[in-house]
Chains A and B, each alone.
Chain A
């Protein structure tokens, strides 16, 4: 079993729809949870960062962490074609090591 599981998709939605992405994990020591956005042939860009459980909102993006279920989510409201990218979840305990999901490819159709 992988330490972090992420549905690779691909996910295709019409413009304006809500995009829902999620990851599950097995390591209960994880405390830091991140979502990265990666455009084709570019480096990952930090999108959201959450420490421990709870919700965090930034504009059209909402990150949720449920440590009891070992489940994290990212929601994109009013999706735009510019949101078309691969989204990677990442998490870590108290050390330097990040564990990544495989990434979900999202296409927002105009």
Chain B
């Protein structure tokens, strides 16, 4: 089964500083990869998804960008953080459910909690 690694687990950054969050996936090849943000007490908001190396789709306009330099690596970045970028960032991929690959079943990493001060 697939394993999703995210780091760092917690990050405190000043406003205006750059950001780089990394996600790597094991146990699968050519996965679809996703970045979500979860604000306190709210559901998950899809930020970016990628179907392959160098292929990034953005779901919402924002201060963030994403890149996929390798098949199983997904990076979330910002040049200058805003206070509103604080939140819990989750990387996800699709995996096996019920004995076969289910395109709509997403599995999540442990997340990165970002505080922008």
Give the chain B neighbours of A57 by CB distance below 8 A: none
Chain B count of residues within 8 A CB distance of the other chain: 24
Interface segment out of the listed B12-20, B65-73, B108-116? B108-116
DSSP class of B's interface residues: helix, strand, loop or mixed? strand
Of A32, A43, A98, A102, which is in contact with the most chain B CB atoms at under 10 Å from its CB?
A43
Give the chain B neighbours of A102 by CB distance below 8 A: 41-43
Task: Give CA–CA (A88, B92) in the complex, Å.
Answer: 15
Question: Does B97 touch A at the CB level, under 8 Å?
Answer: yes
State whether B107 touches A46 (Cβ < 8 A). Answer: yes
Give the chain B neighbours of A4 by CB distance below 8 A: 43
Interface size band for A: 20 to 34
State whether A103 touches B111 (Cβ < 8 A). Answer: no
Give the chain A neighbours of B49 by CB distance below 8 A: 96
Residue of chain B at shortest CB distance from A34: B105
State whether B110 touches A42 (Cβ < 8 A). Answer: yes
State whether A103 touches B43 (Cβ < 8 A). Answer: yes
Question: Does B83 touch A at the CB level, under 8 Å?
Answer: no
A residues contacting B by CB (< 8 A) are: 4, 6, 8, 32, 34, 36, 41-46, 49, 88, 90, 92, 94, 96-98, 100-103
User: Which 10 interchain pairs have the tightest Cβ spacing?
Assistant: A100-B43, A43-B108, A32-B104, A92-B104, A43-B111, A100-B44, A102-B43, A43-B110, A44-B108, A49-B97
